[in-house]
Amino acid sequence: HSLSLRRPTMAADEPIPVFTNLTELYGSLGTSLNHAERWNNLTDEFEKRFGKKPTYIVRAPGRVNLIGEHIDYALFGVLPAAIERDILIACAPREIVPNSPVDEQHHAPGSVVAENLHPKYTRQVFAPTQTKTSTEDVHVEGWHLDIPKELRWENYVKAGYYGVLTEHFTGASDHPTPVDMLVTGTVPAGSGLSSSAAMVVSSTLTFLAMNGKLEPGAEKVTKGDLVKLSMENEKRVGVNSGGMDQAASVISVPSSMLYITFYPSLTASPTPLPTGAVLVCAHSLKVSDKALTAERGYNLRVVETLVGARVLARALGVALGPKEKITFREVVGRYAGEVDVGRGGRGMDEGALMEVLGRMGEAVEALKPKSQTSGTPHPEFGVTMEEMVSMSGMEKEEFEEVYMSWIKVDATHFKLYKRAKHVFSEALRVLQLRKLCLENASANNPDTNTAALLELGRLMNDSQTSCAQDFECSCAELDELTQIARDAGAYGSRLTGAGWGGCTVSLVPEDKVGEFIEKVARAYEPYRGLEGEALSEVLFATRPSVGACVYKF
Ligand code: NG1
Ligand code: MG
DSSP 347-384: -S-HHHHHHHHHTHHHHGGGGS-S---SSPPPTT--B-
Average pLDDT over residues 14-41: 88
Q: Give percent of the chain above pLDDT 90.
A: 72
pLDDT tier at 105 (50, 70, 90 boundaries)?
Answer: low
**Cα 202 to Cα 156: distance, rounded to the nearest angstrom:** 9
Residue 209 pLDDT > 50: yes
Nearest to 266 by CA among 343, 340, 324: 343
DSSP conformation letters of 294-357 = TTTTHHHHHHHHHHHHHHHHHHHT----TT----HHHHHHHHTT----STT---S-HHHHHHHH
**Cα 542 to Cα 553: distance, rounded to the nearest angstrom:** 29
Q: Of 152-166, 287-301, 324-338, where does mean pLDDT reach its minimum?
A: 287-301
Average pLDDT over residues 366-379: 79
Pocket lining: 161 vs ligand 1, CB cutoff 6 Å:
no
**Cα 272 to Cα 177: distance, rounded to the nearest angstrom:** 42
pLDDT at 4: 34
Atom of ligand 1 nearest to the CA of 65: 18
Strand ranges (DSSP E) for 197-292? 257-261, 267-271, 277-283
Residue 372 pLDDT > 90: no
Average pLDDT over residues 94-122: 80
Amino acid letter for position 135: T
Average pLDDT over residues 389-399: 96
Report yes or no on whether pTM surpasses 0.90: yes
Average pLDDT over residues 40-64: 97
Ligand 1 center to 500 CA (angstroms)? 11
Contact (CB, 8 A) for 415 and 387: no
Contact (CB, 8 A) for 473 and 286: no
Contact (CB, 8 A) for 424 and 360: yes
Pocket lining: 250 vs ligand 1, CB cutoff 6 Å:
no
Whether omega before 264 lies within 30 degrees of 0, making that bond cis, reads: yes
Alpha helices per DSSP H over 19-144 = 22-29, 35-50
pLDDT tens-place string over residues 481-522: 999 999 999 999 999 999 999 999 999 999 999 999 999 999
Atom of ligand 1 nearest to the CA of 63: 3
Q: Which residues are catalytic?
A: 245
Contact (CB, 8 A) for 360 and 431: no
Contact (CB, 8 A) for 203 and 156: yes
Q: What Rg do the C-alpha atoms of the chain give, in angstroms?
A: 24
Residues lining ion ligand 2 (Cβ < 5 A) are 194, 196
Q: Give the Å distances, CA to CA, from 287 to 293, 499, 504, 521.
A: 11, 10, 12, 18
pLDDT at 8: 45
Pocket lining: 301 vs ligand 1, CB cutoff 6 Å:
no
Residue 388's contacts (CB-CB under 8 Å, 6 or more residues apart) are: 307, 399, 414, 416
Ligand 1 center to 497 CA (angstroms)? 5
Average pLDDT over residues 52-77: 97
User: Phi and psi of 292, rounded to 5°?
Assistant: -85, -30
Ligand 2 center to 512 CA (angstroms)? 30
Q: How many CB atoms lie within 10 A of CB 347?
A: 20
Provide the mean pLDDT of the chain: 90
Q: Of 39-43, 261-265, 312-316, 480-484, where does mean pLDDT reach its minimum?
A: 261-265
Angle separating helix axes 195-210 and 223-235, nearest 10 degrees: 120
